[in-house]
A = this chain, B = another copy of it.
Amino acid sequence: MAESSERHFFFCFSSWIRQGLFLVLRDFQGLTQIIIPQDEAHSHVKKLLSSAPVESVVRVTGIVALRPPGQENPKMPTGDIEVKVETAEVLNTCKKLPFEIKDFVKKSEALRMQYRYLDLRSVQLQYNLRLRSQIVMKMREYLCHLHGFVDVETPTLFKRTPGGAKEFLVPSREPGKFYSLPQSPQQFKQLLMVGGLDRYFQVARCYRDEGSRPDRQPEFTQIDVEMSFVDQGGIQRLIEGLLQHCWPEEKGPITTPFPSMTYEEALADYGTDKPDTRFGMKIMDISDFTRNLGIPFVQNVLGCPHGTVKAIWIPQGMRYLKNKDIESLKEAARSQFNQEIVDIVCKPDGSLKSLLTRFLSQEQQSELTQVLKMQEDDVVLLAAGEHKRVCSALGSLRLASANLLEAAGLVLRDPAAFHFLWVVDFFFFLESAHHPFTAPHPSDMGLLYSDPTKVRSQHYDLVLNGNEIGGGSIRIHNAELQRFVLEKVLKEDSEVLSHLLDALEFGAPPHGGIALGLDRLISLIVGAPSIRDVIAFPKSFRGRDLMGSAPDYVTPEELEPYHIQVSWPVAEAEAKKN
């Protein structure tokens, strides 16, 4: 609300720092230094401003002036000016704050959630929410103005989807009947394509009831896109353009097209379908090299189907990691993946220390050093076993070691870097379980009925810095194929989706789309540790609103119109007793 002119200045907002002569006022544009008049004529102004508690809302008028030479503050955007107050009014006072509204004060999150409206005044949250608004607006402009998309709102009160165990229920006034809050507008966006709204998008509120999970929210937002007559590349180019268009200038440019990797490559090189490509330490396959070393357990593994020997290299591991770090990495692989890990250390004299060395000649040891490109103080973690398990375990250790190295002071990942990546060619059979509408790869159609496990899908994931920020697919537009997938591949009752199958029979155009997780995307852009930092009123990790105490108890009378009653766990126990 700053309306500045050469002569007069009108300013309204919470004040927060006071000294004898100065007052700093804050509004959404930043901070402004106010000179409190010391003369007798303004004594009431001085008294009023001096007695207003911190974070009160005040209105002042005065004259904007340049600060005296030498008193400029180059760190403040308004550091060149100050305001000489003429009149002042306290519009509302502030009682004692539960915590100071400064960024470096990190009070317990529960307290900050309880007083979320105070936390929202912090520079960081103001920045996050205002930037979020700007980014979404630019996305809309790109989709509407540059690409002819239509913003269509789809219902959130719908029916339960098959297997929709994570969907919230909403009791209706019809006895026994419930609405369901959908996890995405998937069915509606496809029905819009059938309905000839050929380019649809929505900033869609979605719901997912996962109970207590860290950094998940029961309601979240996705940028939901669907278009007709498009292929995989078409959606990918569209989304690359979208991100380029909305990308904040201060975060530096992003280059397109984004690199692309098949699911199998991602698994082999990074042990995950969402590789963090900001740093190396890729998984090395040393099966061929180790095959002829005569190590018994290696021989065994390589003799099995999908048997493999792989390793990751931890640069300067001995300098940055402690022995207990390496032990904990090995223990994690054991407990999470049931995978034994062998560590190899390169000693200062260039020789190797590992339980493998006893199987190896001196010559074999130096060959191994060369193959692994190990230098003094490097550590290698080696795993032998079934391909997918080995890759997954090493992929997990790769991230864990990177975190340990960075915690110890080595910079592996540029915090200002944004590495986008498409992951493609997922396996149709695995994919259909989550995305039953995904179309198989056209060149694999022949395999669908003969060898379905080999069929690739037209699904694609978008990954940013190792986080999945979006996923989509070209959809099945043929009713017969969709029915086959539901009934024969997924063994589902297709009756519950009869309206969609029906719709495909009425001349559905070929179509495909994608959904981007907006909360995650924004949190990565602003560098926030949690998606809670980019949501105005987030729930706690247990799904609670700590400010308004939701969810909350209701009276039995309030449940009556919905024909439901609470099954109290205690009552259940008592019922069993009788």
Residues of chain A having any CB pair with chain B under 8 Å: 1, 12-14, 26-28, 53, 55-57, 59, 91-95, 97, 115-121, 125-126, 129-130, 132-134, 136-137, 140, 144-145, 150-160, 165, 168-181, 187-188, 191-192, 194-199, 205, 207, 209, 211, 218-219, 221, 228-229, 477-478, 499, 502-510, 535-537, 539, 543, 545, 547-554, 558-560, 562-569
Contact = CB atoms under 8 A, between A and B. Distances in A.
10 interchain residue pairs of minimum CB distance: A120-B195, A94-B507, A159-B550, A177-B551, A172-B551, A133-B151, A117-B195, A117-B194, A121-B196, A159-B552
A123 to B, nearest CB: 10
Given A117-B191, A119-B195, A499-B548, 13 more contacts: A12-B228, A56-B507, A94-B507, A117-B194, A153-B536, A155-B539, A157-B545, A159-B552, A169-B171, A172-B543, A175-B567, A177-B553, A499-B547
A370 to B, nearest CB: 55
A503 to B, nearest CB: 5
Contacts of A172: 543, 551
Contact of A205 (B93, B169, B205, B550): B205
A551 B191 contact: no
Contacts of A13: 196, 198, 509
Given A28-B198, A507-B57, A554-B169, A137 B158 contact: no
A153 to B, nearest CB: 6
A24 to B, nearest CB: 15
B566 A564 contact: yes
A120 B28 contact: no
A116 B195 contact: yes
A55 B506 CA distance: 7
B187 A548 contact: yes
B140 A506 contact: no
Contacts of A152: 129, 133, 536
Contacts of A130: 150, 197
Contact of A545 (B133, B155, B543, B566): B155
Contacts of A499: 547-549
Contacts of A151: 132-133, 136-137
A468 B25 CA distance: 40
Contact of A1 (B57, B187, B229, B508): B229
Contact of A209 (B92, B173, B211, B219): B173
Contact of A554 (B140, B160, B548): B160
Contact of A159 (B153, B229, B551): B551
Nearest to A97: B506
Contacts of A559: 169
Nearest to A148: B28
Contact of A567 (B168, B477, B564): B564
A543 B232 CA distance: 38
A178 B552 contact: yes
B158 A545 contact: yes
15 contacts: A14-B507, A27-B196, A56-B507, A93-B507, A94-B506, A118-B195, A120-B192, A153-B205, A156-B205, A170-B170, A170-B181, A170-B551, A172-B543, A205-B205, A564-B565
A567 to B, nearest CB: 5
Contact of A537 (B154, B199, B211): B154
A119 B218 CA distance: 33
Contacts of A125: 195
A554 to B, nearest CB: 5
Contacts of A159: 545, 548-552
A55 B507 contact: yes
Contact of A179 (B126, B478, B550): B550
Given A118-B506, A553-B176, A198 B228 contact: no
B550 A169 contact: no
A364 to B, nearest CB: 56
Contacts of A211: 173
Nearest to A180: B550
Contact of A153 (B14, B118, B221): B221
A568 B563 contact: yes
Contacts of A558: 160, 165, 169
Contact of A150 (B133, B187, B560): B133
Contact of A550 (B115, B157, B503): B157
Contacts of A116: 191, 195
Contacts of A144: 133-134, 137
Nearest to A56: B507
Nearest to A230: B1
Nearest to A497: B548
B507 A92 contact: yes
